[in-house]
Chain A
Amino acid sequence: MIDVLIFATLNGLVTGLLLFLLASGLTLIFSMMGVLNFAHASFYMLGAYCAFSIGQYTGFWPALILAPVLVGGFGALVERYGLRHVHKSGHVAELVFTFGLAFLIEQAVQSFWGADTKNYQPPALLDFPLFTLFGQDFPAYKAFMLLVSIGIFIGLYWGLTRTRTGMIIQAATSHPQTVANLGHNLPLIHTLVFGAGSALAALAGVLAGPVLTTFPGMAATLGSIVFVIVVIGGLGSLTGALVASLLIGLLQSWAIAVDVGMADLLHWVGVEFPPDHPLKDIWRLSLPQLAPVLPYLLLVLMLIFHPSGLFGKREG
């Protein structure tokens, strides 16, 4: 039991920090522009696919840098020529635009890369078990993912709180007019932040591609979860995004690992149920089955009882 828990925790950390790479960009973009970017996970998918294609010519390491740069540039273009154009039609139109973009990118990936799963492998350099615990291997690549994610988090934190650019970005989220009056190019800041957020998402994609498989549905499977995270963490809060990412990552990982069901619970209380009971689906529910449902359940409960999220400010 203890070995299962340890590995579940490690895997949960890997997933959680990966989710944070996505959630941090999303929440930064939201706090600055007020747009929840539906296409954020699509940039993550584009990152994985670009890295796969580039990697066929150059190998993994150059692709690790090139793919996020490429996707970040694409994200900046989307902001400059797409989102800014839609901005005047209001927030609902912006949300609908990013939704359409996500749909479009998924179709484009399916049309030009194919609907099949890509054979995107971790680099040979990291293709060995880092350590073996209770007879189970922990791959070095996952440790590398963990390391990169932590590095990005520290870099992001330092960059936003200690550098001049970070200060301007923070000021642009809270007092956009003042920042513009001081002579900073506010639209350019928006474009850059959007591009940087897309690049972070793409980096997450490059890292996750070999582990979570590279296929056209990868954006849809992760996209809604990232939304859940930024809402639970509190829209616009970077700390909230980190806490919620880890929470969701661990929660899902543990739920899959711990095979406890309603039947066990009822048995423990001393209640048995007939197998042909009309509500048998509910009596038979088990935690691994519920794992995919948990984030959404948490989201709905959060929005009902504490809409501003864990670390969010009160809504104006």
Chain B
Amino acid sequence: MSLTRRTFIKNGVAAFTVTLAVPRFVSDLAHAQGPVSRNLIVLDLSGGNDGLSLLVPYLDPFYYSRRPTLGIPAGTVLPIGSDTSGKALGLHPKLTGLQGIFNDGRLAFLQRVGYANSSRSHFFGTDIWSTANPGNSTGSGWVGRYLSTIAPPLDPLVAWNTTGDTPHMLQSSSVAVASIPSVSAYAFQSPTGGAESALERTAATSIASHIPVDKPQVAFVSTTVQSALATLDRVASVGQYAPSVTYPNNGFGQALRAVAGAMAKGTGTKVFWVQTGGFDTHASQDTIADNGAYVKLMVTLNDGLTALYNDLKNQGLLSNTLLLSFSEFGRRITENGSRGTDHGAASVMFAMGGGVRGGLYGTSADLSPDPKNPTLENAAGDVTFETDFRSAYAKVLDNWLGADSVAVLGGNFRKSGIEFV
């Protein structure tokens, strides 16, 4: 039984296409989808990253006066130069690997990214960053919409999510996303094994091929099963990947290892999604001590990304790769009574990869608590955005993915002066 997607997808997440043309190994289909095998890795720093602790304005006296316990000593930050406003900036002391990548010219920071009337809600904020629509954040994700622009038929591994739930940013009404939190667990098991296992897999494949037209929910799950079964063998091949470096033995590091493996094994994946959380540092944020909460976040980030960068470089895959980070909001400038920071507004994004023009883009905020300070808002409590987040997306869509950002974003957000890719 075969029918088009539209007949069973109501609203919300796309199911997998029913008539899958799945090549078994290296994806001829994916190669046929465009001459460029470029990919995008979206990195979600979930919880609301404190940009001022990642990219530190270490010569600003207000940074220290407003953060008596969280201000990172100037002598310990890793200086990476000054932005166009002349503000000296340094990386968090644990970002040594990222400093090296910056010095390679393959890491760009985009300062003060956000939007007007920034939501301070984790969930609403994430929805807005996902949909690229502050006015109505319930629709499809901007990356999902980009995927929808690729000519079908789409390979079921066109988008590879390394977490359990399909992120809103990747959702669309027409392209499904494979969620593969563990490559090794992505396999078909059988109670008896042996010959029985093959018979069961045949039966499961047949069962999943019946798409009830009158039961959209069952149809949705059936197509999920179809896609899972259709991608098992290729994902298993990624499990055989032997990286050129050792990845950190944590969830983030292992997710990045899988991403590199998928690239090396030629799955044809266009978009990867990785996440590292814990950035909601309301209390005991501790940016300085070795076991401090924010310090550990930076260690995880640095070690994972450095491993990925070096591995891809060694494998000759760096030139095809662009990693773009985001977080649902920044944090308040003044630390709170819990030695943490509350939900804020604009923050920093970064991009890493072989096609990145490294450097510092945009200008850092002046942290003076003067209520008239134009770079701050909310009674000088929060950083005001200078670059609309959709302008960063537009740059990636137009300059890296070869898509039309106006169509994907629903408006012209192109902006000059931020040519980070």
Indicate, yes or no, whether A interacts with B: no
Question: Which A residues contact B (CB, under 8 angstroms)?
Answer: none
